[in-house]
Amino acid sequence: MATQNKGDFISNLGRIYGIYTGGFIGFVIFIGLLEYFKVFDNKILGYLFIFMTIGIYALIGWLSRTAQISEYYVAGRRVPAFYNGMATGADWMSAASFISMAGGLYLGGYGGLGYVLGWTGGYVLVGVLLAPYLRKFGQYTVPDFLSARYGGNTARLCGVIVLFSASFTYVVAQVFGVGIITSRFLGIPFEIACFVGLVGILVCSMLGGMRGVTWTQVAQYIILIVAYLIPVVWLSTTKFGFPIPELAYGQALKEIAALEQKLGILKPHVAAFADAKGAFSMVEFKNFLALILCLMIGTASLPHILMRYFTTPTVREARLSVGWSIFFIFLLYFTAPAYAAFAKLEIYSEVIGQQISSLPAWVKNWQAVAGMLTIKDANNDGILQLAELTINQDIIVLSMPEVAGLPYVISGLVAAGGLAAALSTADGLLLAIANALSHDVYYEMIDRKASAQKRLIVARVILLVVAAIAALTAGTRPSGIIQMVAWAFSLAAAGLFAPLVMGIWWKRTTNAGAIIGMMAGFGVCLFYLVGTRYFGMAEWWGIRNISSALFGLPVAFIVTYVVSLMTPAPSKEMQDFIDSIRVPAGDVKLVAAADAHKLD
């Protein structure tokens, strides 16, 4: 594609995505008419929604295909801040945000707000501490920065190990979400559904790299935010006559409280940080604070998010992009509590206390998705009690349109939104893994003479292999989506935050200090996570393993600091390099290490 044509594309982004949005709304209306006139049954409509969304993403990936290294890795650094913020929002709002966060609030009450506070607060750290400086550095990947800052391939390899561990855990969660959606709406086994959903992921990321993923993620954000808002706005309007659910769900909470009293339901989590008996629990409070801290720092350490700020034209655009990211994420996160409240109101009103034999059809539909919803008539009285209903947090949002009796087209729309969220993040994660292994390991450490074409082939093969392994792993149902995502955040926080932040903000940080500190923090976090999850190890001070970075993070900082003081200070050239990336203008001074493969 000629440079002029590329410029024309960038200058017409508003028009292009405006047409796309109009087309998508028209498609939803068309499906609604098919449902209204009963042209097809609901199963066929579900197929249309799923394959339309995957098809449009595949088309964008094909149209954005590239054989240029700069386009594949960083989208040519021509993505305006507004659209990069939108792409980052889609990359960020994974299956955990779209599918599971409202479910976490539904089940956990106030405790679920730890996810909202941690994930959004992390972008303050990204904007203040990291994004502008990594963009000024001007390379492909986070391990690139570690290599340049800490003197070669040892630091690069350590960075790749942490990146792979965190990103793979995260991508398994996304494939898990894809499996839930495709299993429910295509009526196929969960294990097969995981692989079906990979088709859209692979076409976008394999052909277009960061360029294709970026423009696909902008499209995916439009779908996911429309899909998330419409059902809850609909319910807010019909139930309370007010189309702003964020301001109306207080009334829903009042009705829930009245229903709980009527049904004899005791909900101890109504009291913040309560134990099983409803009394204040210091352990719950500690876990709440630990989760917020780990998610915030994990946000500022995730390689696939930090990569997004390598794609902007300038350092200033990188800063603006962080601001837009927060805004686009806010639109969904501010709505999640309302989603949880409306879902609980519907379930309490229409399901709890009803005859099990006459429960709504959606209950049976979701029981068919193994492990997502179960009913056990413990009292043998035929009446469903709250304790007899087990509903997985991962289906609260997806099932809400059916629970509320909305038209099936809304269910399909929400499924398309959930698929957009999972696919967009999976694209970014798989690309981060493939780029790290192909660029940082294969090219930088194995074959420096590899041609651009060979490097792209290696990246695509690695991406395919990692995606297949992720689908196999997701099929084993290792945990819930939001728990797996929290693990990934802890791994990234414990392994990458200290070397990144200290590498930029403390010039005395040495190569040995950063490398030993990085692996010490990561090792402690991984030990605690695996030990408590799989080997029955007791929790330390009652902290759950979703916040395992709480132990690895201070180890990383302390070890890095102590070892740095015990080893010779970095060279003057290295300190000049650090100074140069802290200043928005001017060139990066460490030419030999940091600018060897400059893209600009």
35-44, 227-236, 480-489, 577-586: lowest mean pLDDT where? 577-586
pLDDT above 90 covers a percentage of the chain that reads 31
Kindly report, residue by residue over 283-308, the tens digit of the pLDDT: 888 999 999 999 999 999 988 788 77
**Which of 17-31, 253-267, 449-463 tops mean pLDDT?**
17-31
Q: pLDDT tens digit string along 512-566?
A: 999 999 999 999 999 999 999 999 999 999 999 999 999 999 999 999 999 999 9
The string of DSSP letters for 2-70 reads -HHHHHHHHHTHHHHHHHHHHHHHHHHHHHHHHHHTTSS-HHHHHHHHHHHHHHHHHHHHHHT----HH
Q: Are 497 and 295 in contact (CB under 8 A)?
A: no
Query: For residue 375, what is the enclosing H or E element?
Result: strand 373-375
* Per-residue pLDDT at 292: 95
Gyration radius of the chain's alpha carbons: 24
**Which residue in 302, 282, 317 sits closest to 119, CA to CA?**
302
Beta carbons within 8 Å of 543's beta carbon, 6+ residues apart: 286, 287, 290, 550, 551
Domains of the chain (ranges; CATH) run 44-480 (1.20.1730.10)
Question: Which whole number is the average pLDDT over 151-163?
Answer: 90
Asked whether 220 and 420 are in contact (CB, 8 A), the reply is yes
Alpha helices by DSSP H, 272-407? 282-299, 303-306, 315-333, 336-350, 361-367, 396-403
Which residue matches tokens 């060979």? 454
Residue for token pair 């009334």: 251
* Cβ-Cβ contacts under 8 Å for 200 (sequence gap 6 or more): 53, 54, 55, 57, 58, 419, 423
Helix intervals (H) in 93-189: 95, 101-108, 113-125, 131-137, 142-150, 153-186
SS3 content of the chain, % helix, strand, coil (to 5): 80, 0, 20
